[in-house]
Structure 1
Amino acid sequence: MDVLITGGHGVVGTAITDHLGDDEAYEFTLLDVDPPAEDTPHDSVVADVRDYDAIRPHFEGKDAVVHLALVPGTGGPDSRELGWSKPQSDNLEALHNVYEAAVDAALDSIVFASSNHAVGMVEVRNAPEVYHDAGVKVDHTEPHRPDSRYGLTKSYGEDLGRLAAESHGIRFYALRIGSVRAPEYDHPYGDAERGVEDGKWERGSDAYEEQVARLKGLWQSRRDLAHLVDCCLRDDSVEWDQFYGVSENSRRWLDDLDHARETVGYDPQDAGEEWDAPPE
């Protein structure tokens, strides 16, 4: 299967190629606005997803696209600003370009990196209790409740994908990813430890422990993320659907792993509660 990954050199893109790159079932092409920082065994092309004519040739002959690229400057997932911005418009244009190119090139499927922030107001309205298994749960049918302009962009991408699926017959998979981290922080203490390194708090402080509690609910290990993408790429039954990108975390509030198991066969191998300290 020939797969194009937009934003392929980022944290999520490298999780996919780190764990699926040796799978003979796949040939990956990594599309990014900059060349890779280091050598990669995969084909790599430089193009900007805001430029349709620049990206369209790279969709030719592909079976699927995994759309990860995000134009920076949308305000971020922690911003509650309501005003519009040029980067926000650029992201919507990029979504249209990628989806249009996928349809025009007759790809079989689109896998879209959506986000927990598409329903993130659930967390905002229930924090910090939600980090401690307070009984707040949402399933894959939860209506969009974006917590930011970033979440709004992800919600729009899900709706546009459904339109592409129902109007043009391309299969669409929205992955409402929880928290996938770079290899050095790929554990539920990752955010807390990074905060220590950045001087934001001390290890063992209340702020540190709250970051651990949060990530033990939202964490998706890099190998579980790659496995979920693999499940979607191999699937041929879904018209359009959304799945939560989390590991087998007992305190998760994005609580619909059974839907992903039954629909595409997602079987996560990691769990936040298996960790009681950061790696040494």
Structure 2
Amino acid sequence: MDVLVTGAHGTVGTAITDHLGDDDRYTFTLLDIEDVPSPHETVVADIREYDEIRPHFEGQDAVVHLALIPGTGGPDSRALTWNTAQAENLEALHNVYEAAIDAGLDSILFASSNHAVGMVEAKNAPEVYHDRGIVAGHEEPHRPDSPYGLTKSYGEDLGRLAAEAHGIRVYGLRLGTIRNPEYDHPYGDAEYGVDEGRWERGSDAYEKWVARMKGLWQSRRDLAQMVACCLDDDSVEWDHFYGVSGNERRWLDDLDHARETIGYEPRDDGEQWDGPPE
């Protein structure tokens, strides 16, 4: 299977190629705004420019769309402001979907986010990090917590239109917390804060970030497995799945649906860790 990955050199893209790059089932083409040495074919293009990206969709079976325009704001920015970067990001979404449809691809995997339903967390923190009664199930409607989350909701809805109107399979991956290899564990965000001098290990702030990540963490190998499950699937028309590991305290909870629909069986659980790696 030939797979194009946009924004391929970022945290999520490298998780895919680190764990699936040697899998004979897939041949990856990595598309990004800058060239980075890689054993896989790499092409340089700006997803804001349709004519730049369109040729690279030829001959592909699927696209994994990860690229995000810099300056779109983060999930912690809840001011209802709009800027050029956000508008360009939506235009880029249209470019990717249009190119995939025009080139006759079988499927699109869209990197959505937990922030598409993030108001569940915002309204219930910090209890949501400990109370298994507070969950966003598979049928949870869009509840974006920021303009960032709003763009992810839009991408999911655009995908549904593409699927139902044009017959391409679309998978929205509502990703939780995925980190680079050195922080790929449920203490990762807390340890990063220590390394940055923001707080001390064992402080209230440290423990808060541990509790949060133990629910939202998706290990790099579990993320890659979820991507593989979607790439191998031929039954879904349009659907979304929460990108988390099998965390006991997860508040994004559609694991049964993901297991039954695409065969996702996460290997990791935040509760398996009682401290950061030595």
Which residue does 1:175 correspond to in 2?
A: 173
1:224 counterpart residue number: 222
> 2:34 — aligned with what?
34
User: Taking structure 1 as the reference length, what is the TM-score of the superposition?
Assistant: 0.99
**Contact 1:15 / 1:225 at 8 angstroms: preserved in 2?**
yes
Q: How does 1:1-280 map to 2 (within 5 A)?
A: 1-36=1-36, 39-280=37-278
Which one-letter code corresponds to 1:60 in the other structure?
E
Partners of 1:34 and 1:146 in 2: how far apart?
Answer: 30
Partner Cα distance (2:254, 2:232) in 1: 20
Runs of 4+ in 1 over 2 A off after TM superposition: none
CA distance in 2, matches of 1:167, 1:81: 34
Task: Give yes or no for contact 1:218–1:246 (8 Å, CA) kept in 2.
Answer: yes
CA RMSD of aligned residues (A): 0.6
* Per-residue deviation, residues 114-136 of structure 1 (Å, max 9, x unmatched): 00000000000000010112510
Check conservation: 1:133, 1:252, Cα contact below 8 A. no
Equivalents in 2 of 1:126, 1:34: separation in Å? 40
CA contact (8 A) 1:75 1:81 kept: no
Measure, in 1, the Cα distance between the counterparts of 2:231 and 2:248. Answer: 27
**Letter in structure 1 aligned against 2:66:** L
Structure 2 residue ranges without an equivalent (≥5): none
CA drift of 1:21 comes to 0.3
Alignment deviations for residues 193-247 of structure 1 (CA, whole Å, 9 cap, x no partner): 0000111100000000000000000000000000000000000000000000000
The offset of 1:140, in angstroms, is 1.6
**Equivalent-residue separation in structure 1 for 2:16 and 2:127 (angstroms):** 32
Task: State the shift of 1:58 in Å.
Answer: 0.1
How many residues align? The count is 278
Q: TM-score scaled to structure 2, two decimals?
A: 0.99
Cα distance, 1:20 vs structure 2? 0.3
Separation (CA, whole Å) in 1 of partners of 2:207 and 2:18: 30
Q: Distance in 1 between matches of 2:73 and 2:16?
A: 26
Measure the CA separation in 2 of the matches of 1:58 and 1:232. Answer: 21
